[in-house]
Structure 1
Amino acid sequence: MKAGSKFLNAVSAFALSAGVVASGAGAVVVASALSAEAAVIQKIDVRGAQRAGAAAVRSNLTIRPGVNFSNSDIDESVKRLYATGFFSDVKIAVSGSTLVVTVNESQLVNQVVFNGNRKIKDDKLQSTVNTQPLGPYSEAMVKADIERIREAYKQIGRSDVQITTQTVPVGQGRVNLAFVINEGDRTKISDIKFIGNSAYSSSRLHDVLVTKESGPLSFLTRKDVYTEDKMKADEEALRKFYYDHGYPDFRIVSSDAVLNEAKNEYTLTFTVEEGARYRFGNVTVDSTVQGLDASALKNVVQTNAGDVYKASDVQKSIEAIQKKVAEAGYPFARVTPRGDRNFQTNTIGLSYLVDQGERAYVERIDIRGNTRTRDYVIRREFDMSEGDAFNQLMITRAKRRLEALGYFSKVNITTQQGSAPDRVVIVVDVEDQSTGAFGIGVGYAANDGVVLEASIEEKNFLGRGQYIRVAAGGGLNDSRTYSLNFTEPYFLGYRLAAGFDVFKNQTSSNDYYDYNEQGFTLRVTAPITETLATTFRYTYKEINYDGTNDWQTNLSQPFQDLVRGGDYVQSSISQTLTYNTLDSMTLPREGIYASVTQEYAGLGGDSQFYKISGRARYFQLLSDELDMIGQIAVGAGHVVATGDHLNVFDQFTFGGRQVRGFKNDGIGPRAGSDAIGGTTYFNASAEVSVPMPALPQDAGLRANFFADAGTLYGNDVPVASGLQSDNSIRASVGMGVTWASPFGALRFDYAVPVAKEDYDREQRFRFSMANQF
């Protein structure tokens, strides 16, 4: 044997007998020969694992007796043991044919408690931290948990929170861990600035943002809480605003949030470039798909030459064309808008190109991040499922629907390559947010004065997407209202909103009679298009009139008959057709909301009639800069008896809800001093609203100037004598203030009748919830 070979064999033997040691950062090879060739051990000796046990240590090793191993196996074994968190030190050595694993066990956490927290409850913080009872105690993990708690407090506007920890040994290697929290004061937003804006004032842009400056009621609205996610949402809101108002070149140069730690206040600054304002130029539709007539698609386009450029109209046009093309039998066709910009005339010509896209199918839909909302609640907002043709526009529509639900603070939808080139995986990332609310409503009724209503509602009941509301209210003169509302938005798996309403109302006329009604409504709403829906209802109502001691001398004949009769039953079915193109249901600036309802009563009970009524409201933004909104409303109704005659409670009542300046039943036929309603009404109104001058728009106060007109006439109730009725027009003019308060939208109106009859009843001041749709 050569001398060199003998030397190598001696080194190899020394390496195997000396062994390998691994600790801390990884494995250290004592003899380099082990790097060149694998080793084999016959057994594993575990030392120091008193609580964890030798079996738990062996299960985290990649080394097995009788199987070759190398340095990389030792490195991986050390990493796995450290990753469990149960060991503070790990050493691995080879002694002859034995692998010796020596560990020092970490302390175990016996209990985790939180002290000083009031704004965030213990269970919420417990789910935030990674350190858990019976788990290992790690300094690194505790430091990371402190940052997680700090971030949770930032989300509720407490950026100056201070967090420390205390540990108390309890024996047997266990410790109690306490997070000591000083929540501090609320971090406010002192100022929101805009730099570079000229087309719109800073005051107007403030109204676009989700984040608001701190005010006296900010502790209720929580809109003055700064987070990075809200900052990004504000940036997106600004882009959408400008893109929809003719500024396609708009961009945000920078957005900064500076915290003044001494005052615990943020200053937000948005630096923007608006660019030029554009209008639509020539608009065409072209198609490369054989057999598809492009000219037939032009009718569904919503971008018209000469109109101010609006990105949302481009998107709506794409969706409308895509839907039309799919209905024609081309599910994979793709619609691509192409712009032709004219810098001299500031116009953008549009050409919608329809071509045959690539064939792709949905392999699956992955949903992530929903901790409360059920998966099926999210899936049902997609017009596609596994195996269907992939359509990017349906993804956009689903995202819009999910955001409109109000269940999530964030919705992000992306796509990934599936298991084959023609397969697509849709990934939906959401973040649940609070959907419950406690409300206090304030109103004013002619007979009851100030009326209060307290309500509890949940828009995503048990994460099922169901709506439930319980409310109770009352006035100063013994009026009482109770209601329970429930809606299942996808009844039997279809896009049918089915629900019920249970109600009980009690009012009093003070001198003459008490009126009580109770009953229920069953309803189902079906969408016809994106803007058109129909609702069917069945209503059962029990009505009771109870006369006072003076009723015989003071009540008119219809009411005397009612009081003698005592209890009445009204059983009816109705159908409502609703058309809605409003851009917002809380503060609409553009669009139409119209509804027509027909009702038939006679399915048993004491009422027999056919009733039809309708109402339409049109909104138009009169001035972008001033945020001046114009509104025109019209309404009409007619009821006819299908039996002998109508009851008093079957006829329409008319007054301050339609023509301000009058009591709720202050207009129309009267028998003596009592309103008996009428069979026919018409009304119209015009209104202009602007933000209150000299106040920031964040205050939510708007001034309203209006003119109302209308009439109620006709009577089919038997009246012995004293009937007063005519069809003359009543009218009023006035002004008011609307406040988007934390308790709901409140409205204060003062109107002066300018056309009325002597027997009408006035009520010039009106304090109520703002008009609901």
Structure 2
Amino acid sequence: MSSPSISQENTQIKAGKISEEVKKIYRLRKIEIKGLKYVSPQLIYPLIPLGKGAIVTRDNIVNILRDLYKLGYFRDIETYTRYTENGIDLVFVFKELPVVQKIEFEGNEEISDEDLFQVLGIQTKERLESGGALPFSTIGPELAEKMASIKKGLGRVFSLDEINKMVKAIKDKYEKEGFYNVKVSYYFKGNTLVFKINEGQRAYVKEIRIVGNKQIDEDEIEDVMETKERSIWKLRFHPRLKKDVLFEDIERIRDLYIKKGFFEVQIDKPEIELKDGEEYYITIKIKEGPRYKLSGVDFKNNKYYTEDELLKRFKDDLKIGEYYNGEIVERVKKETLDKYTELGFIFAMVYVDKILDKQNKTVKVVYDIQPGEIFYVDKIDISGNYESRDYVIRRELRFAPGDLFKRQDLFRSQSRLYALGFYDMIGFDPHVKEEGKIDVDVKVQERFTGQISIGAGYSQLTGLSFFLSLRKGNFLGTGDTAGISFTVGSSYRNNEISYLHRWAFYKPVNLGFSLYDRYVDYTTFVSEKQGFSPTLSWELSEYWRVGTGFTIEKGKYKDITEDAPQRIKDQAGSYSLISTFLNFTRSDIDNPILPTRGSNFSITFKVGYGTRGFYKTSFSYSKFIPDKLFYTDWVLSFKGRYGIVEKMTDKIPLDEYFFVGGDFSIRGFDYGMAGPYDTNKDPIGSKQQIVFNFQASHPIAERFLWGYIFTDMGKGYNSGNPFKDMYYSAGIGLKIVTPMAPIDIYYGKVLNPPEGVSGSRIGFVLGTFF
């Protein structure tokens, strides 16, 4: 006899002679499963919760069939009953969906098969086992685990739910590409699943109309939206409409209004109108409602600061009786959170409650502070340092086992490690170990710290020569820096040995030396130098360092031609020089390669004795300020320099003059041309310099590519008013961070160049400017 059956296409009950037996009670003898080829019976039996001897009713069978259809793998399921003397047998006959060995698309002209396969997320190169089913309410945990373990891919039965999700994914892809009425259906061609696509038409957003906004400008509303209207001058020729993004835009507009105190704002569902088959006109209707004013600010659970301390920076912006400003409220929240984390409450939370008085149209802001616990450092693990030894990293950390764990110590440790120049990336991963204790994983990514130069030269004077120069930072992973260069082949020489040893005597003391012998033909003259220069510096405090050293040098300028620059002719002859210096520096910048905050101060006093004695003072100050006014990603930079040098005996050494103009001073000038020069337009250097640099930088690709605009001013001079007759330049540039070193490429334009001097320049700088 036939008992109930449910068809996938038309769910209905088929009853045979069982109606004649409806008043009888039948007990189950056995269950038979027929027709399965691809789906395992193990997926079926758990959905038939009838054991031997169970009472079989019409409702039992109907519920079982419905649960079986939830698997989504069958075209049709029929069940038959067979009555025997010992009970009833249930026979389930399944007609499976085909195994999908291939997926094809029809009608897709604008979007490629590859792009559609990508949104489907189906593996097409590998045929795997039978697929998984959707979660459903009637299966137990064991079956759910089995279902979750079934592999995805082709070579299996696809459930109807999976296929419907694929249909939706295809429609979503087309909608993102601007097709507004796409239709997608499917059919089976043997073991091939074919998606038939009617792409419809493509349209773009022609106009966005904002209606009802009286107190917030339309431009400000459109700025928070990701959906944009056509604008030729902004190079938006065919902006696409994504409906899900448009609905998110409505929430962004709502947030904008609430931040400005419109707590009762109402925004209708956007109206979308299609004209001429390709232009969308979007209308957004707003009911602004009343604007609330601030009635008070309160702090709950604030045990460690006074309210004045938390609100000190915001007294001019957060005033009782003025309109509510959500941006300032959020900044106060961040300030409060920062102050508590500085005390060691690294998991502190601050909740903002807004208590509305709808009658008086006022709002009271309550900051609920949940400090949480403080933690002490227990264990520090270091990873990623394939070259650096652990102690090179540990000695720069501002926290150690047993210390109170504070966020500012992480930031300072990161800055000190970046200052070494050995690492591209530095991260910290703190995780709670037990109550009151925390482990910190320090993860670094090392950068290439070696430099090598190989070359050859020839001149009639020096003949053929070969040279090799090697410089290695983080030498043998110790944090030291070693350098060597030597020349083979002729009287041309460029031989040098240098070494910098960090943390001498296990103290923050750096010892270094340089021993050199140079003989260089510059065509119009020959320069030879031999010297020795030891240096010593030590850390006075966390940010201050003092350094000293001296140089013993003998040199000579000879074989000077008639067309040599005047500054060289003035230096003709031999000299001996002993110089010493003393400098003080203070630096708290976060990253010397890509600085975003902090400052750098340096003052150096230098005195030279001998046939060319001199005294020299140089001052430099740099400041990096992230944008906290509008909270953008812009970084504002400033650098100021002043220097003066005077002779004590016969002449000032050529290397001690100031050559203003060029890549590292006033950009747009050629080297030294923002100071004195001779009749041949060759720079001769100056006794004084004053230079100011202003720059605004913005990331294009974080940690890799930055763009910037700049303006420079200053001059090199010998006497007179330093602020009179200054030179000015402006320009744009790109900073590219490479594994070797940062590279700056810029264009600078001098606004008031001297007559006969080039007024613009494209610069290429290997290294950092600020």
Whether 2:623 is the aligned partner of 1:616: answer yes
Q: Is 1:92–1:102's contact at 8 Å kept on the other side of the alignment?
A: yes
2:112 aligned residue: 118
Name the amino acid aligned to 1:124. Answer: Q
Per the TM alignment, residue 151 of structure 1 is displaced from its structure 2 partner at its CA by 0.5
Partner of 1:577: 588
Number of equivalent positions = 546
Provide the secondary structure at the position in 1 that maps to 2:52: coil
Alpha-carbon shift at residue 118 of structure 1 (Å): 2.8
Q: Does 1:90 align with 2:77?
A: yes
**Contact 2:120/2:170 (CA < 8 Å) preserved in 1?**
no
Which of 203, 213, 227 is the matching residue for 2:242?
A: 227
Kindly indicate whether residue 279 of structure 2 is the aligned counterpart of residue 265 of structure 1.
yes
Give the whole-Å Cα distance in 1 for the aligned partners of 2:769 and 2:240. Answer: 29
Which residue does the alignment assign to 1:752?
Answer: 751
Tell me by how many angstroms 1:686 deviates: 8.0
Per-residue CA deviation, residues 330-352 of structure 1 (Å, 9 max, x unaligned), is 988966555688999x9x68564
Does the aligned pair in 1 maintain the 2:659–2:683 contact within 8 Å?
no
SS in 2 for 1:40: strand
For 1:40 and 1:651, locate their aligned partners in 2 and report how far apart those are by CA, in whole Å.
Answer: 106
Match for residue 150 of structure 1 among 171, 178, 186: 171
Q: Once the 2 structures are TM-superposed, how far is the Cα of residue 753 of structure 1 from its aligned partner? A: 1.7
Counterpart for residue 763 of structure 1: 759
Say which is worse superposed, 490-499 or 304-313, in terms of deviation: 490-499
Say whether residues 1:320 and 2:327 are aligned partners: no
Q: 1:558 to 1:165 in 2, by over 3 A?
A: farther
Residue 302, structure 1, aligned to residue 314, structure 2: yes
Does structure 1 conserve the Cα–Cα contact (< 8 Å) formed by 2:747 and 2:760?
A: no
Question: In the TM superposition, what is the alpha-carbon distance from 1:78 to its structure 2 partner?
Answer: 1.6
Q: Which amino acid aligns with 2:189?
A: V
**Cα displacement string for residues 673-724 of structure 1 (whole angstroms, at most 9, x for unaligned residues):** 56698998654478999xxxxxxxxxxxxxx9x975334579xxxxxxxxx9
- The aligned residue for residue 600 of structure 2 is 596
SS at match of 1:145: helix
Change (3 A) 1:349 1:157: closer
- 1:225-272 deviations in whole A, cap 9, x for unaligned? 33234324434544555566x554584523526252744333333334
Task: Within 5 Å, give how 1:350-499 maps onto structure 2.
Answer: 352=366, 486-487=424-425, 489-490=427-428, 494=441, 499=446
Contact 2:658 2:716 in 1 (8 A): no
Q: Secondary structure at the match of 1:753?
A: coil
Structure 2: distance between partners of 1:187 and 1:519: 59
The offset of 1:112, in angstroms, is 1.1
Using structure 2 for the length normalisation, give the TM-score. 0.51
- Corresponding position of 2:91: 100
Deviation at 1:127, TM superposition (A): 0.7
Corresponding residue of 1:21? 4
1:42 aligns with 2:49: no
1:595–1:255 Cα change, 3 Å = farther
Which residues in structure 2 correspond to 1:534-683 (within 5 Å)?
Answer: 577-578=588-589, 594-596=598-600, 613-616=620-623, 633=638, 635-636=640-641, 654-655=661-662, 659=666, 662-663=669-670, 666-668=673-675, 682-683=690-691
Corresponding residue SS for 1:63: coil
Shift of 1:504: 8.4
Query: 1:242, 1:250 within 8 Å by CA — same for their partners in 2?
Result: no
Pair 685,114 (structure 1): closer, same or farther in 2 beyond 3 Å: same
Q: Is the 8 A contact 1:661 1:763 kept in 2?
A: yes
Q: Please report how far the alpha carbon of residue 202 of structure 1 lies from its aligned counterpart in structure 2 after TM superposition.
A: 3.5
Residues 654 and 677 of structure 1 are in contact (CA less than 8 Å); yes or no, is this contact kept in structure 2?
no
User: Compared with structure 1, are the counterparts of its residues 59 and 85 closer, same or farther at alpha carbon in structure 2 (3 Å cutoff)?
Assistant: same
- 1:179: how far off? 3.4
Q: Any conservation in 2 of the 1:652–1:680 contact (CA below 8 Å)? A: no
Query: Against the structure 1 CA distance between its residues 358 and 46, is the aligned structure 2 distance closer, same or farther, given a 3 Å change threshold?
Result: same
Residue 746 (structure 1) shift? 12
Provide, for residues 644-668 of structure 1, a one-character-per-residue CA deviation record: whole Å limited to 9, x for no partner. x999799886457865664576435
Give the direction of change, closer, same or farther, for the CA distance of 1:38–1:166 in structure 2 (3 Å limit).
Answer: closer
The one-letter code of the counterpart of 2:97 is S
Corresponding position of 1:256? 270
Change in Cα spacing, 1:71 to 1:730, as seen in structure 2 (3 Å) is farther
Secondary structure in 2 matching 1:49: coil
Distance 1:746 1:187 in 2: 40
Relative contact order (C-alpha < 8 Å, sep 6+): which is higher? Answer: 1
* Counterpart contact for 2:623–2:639, Cα < 8 Å: yes
For the 8 Å contact 1:284–1:298, the answer to whether it is kept is no
Q: Answer yes or no: is the 8 Å Cα contact 2:254–2:267 preserved in 1.
A: no
Where 2:157 maps in the other structure, the secondary structure is coil
Q: 1:136 to 1:270 in 2, by over 3 A?
A: same
Distance 1:679 1:503 in 2: 36
Distance in 2 between the 1:542 and 1:730 partners?
44
Q: Distance in 1 between matches of 2:118 and 2:603?
A: 50
- Structure-2 change in CA distance of 1:273 and 1:267 (3 Å): same
SS at match of 1:321: helix
Cα distance 1:100–1:298, how it changes in 2: closer, same or farther (>3 A)?
A: closer
1:146 partner SS: helix
* 2:101 aligned partner, one-letter code: N
Label 1:761 to 1:55 Cα distance change in 2 as closer, same or farther (>3 A): same
Equivalences for 1:269-348 in 2 at 5 Å? Answer: 269-273=283-287, 285=298, 287=300, 294-295=306-307, 297-298=309-310, 302=314, 304=316, 309-322=324-337, 324=339, 336=352
Q: Counterparts of 2:759 and 2:264 in 1: how far apart (Å)?
A: 49
Deviates more, 1:63-72 or 1:91-100: 63-72
In the aligned structure 1, how far is the partner of 2:122 from the partner of 2:62?
32
State the alpha-carbon separation in 2 of the partners of residues 516 and 215 from structure 1.
57
User: For the structure 1 residues 499 and 549, does the alpha-carbon distance in structure 2 shift closer, same or farther, using more than 3 Å as the test?
Assistant: same
Query: Are positions 1:710 and 2:714 aligned together?
Result: yes
Cα contact 2:337–2:348 (8 A) shared by 1: no
1:527-538 maps to which residues of 2 (within 5 A)? none
Deviations 1:587-639 (A, max 9, x none): xxxxx955427799xxxxxxxx999854336799999xxx9x99895534779
Cα pair distance change 1:576/1:610, threshold 3 Å: farther
Displacement of 1:154 in angstroms is: 1.9
The Cα offsets for residues 105-161 of structure 1, whole Å up to 9 and x where unpaired, read as: 333322113464438535414417999633336778655533320202322444465
Structure 1: runs of 5 or more not aligned: 1-17, 170-174, 361-393, 395-483, 507-511, 523-536, 562-573, 586-591, 601-608, 690-703, 715-723, 740-744
Look up the equivalent residue of 1:155 and give its one-letter code: K
Higher radius of gyration, 1 or 2: 2
Stretch of structure 1 that moved more, 127-136 or 225-234: 127-136
1:78 aligns with 2:74: no
Match of 1:133 among 154, 165, 175: 154
Residues 303, 496 of structure 1: CA spacing in aligned structure 2 closer, same or farther, 3 A cutoff?
A: farther
Q: 1:70 to 1:88 in 2, by over 3 A?
A: same
Provide TM-score, normalisation by structure 1.
Answer: 0.51
For the Cα contact (< 8 Å) 1:150–1:163, is it kept in 2? yes
Which deviates more from structure 2 when the two are superposed, residues 107-116 or residues 725-734?
A: 725-734
Residue identity opposite 1:709 in structure 2 = M
1:375 paired residue number: none
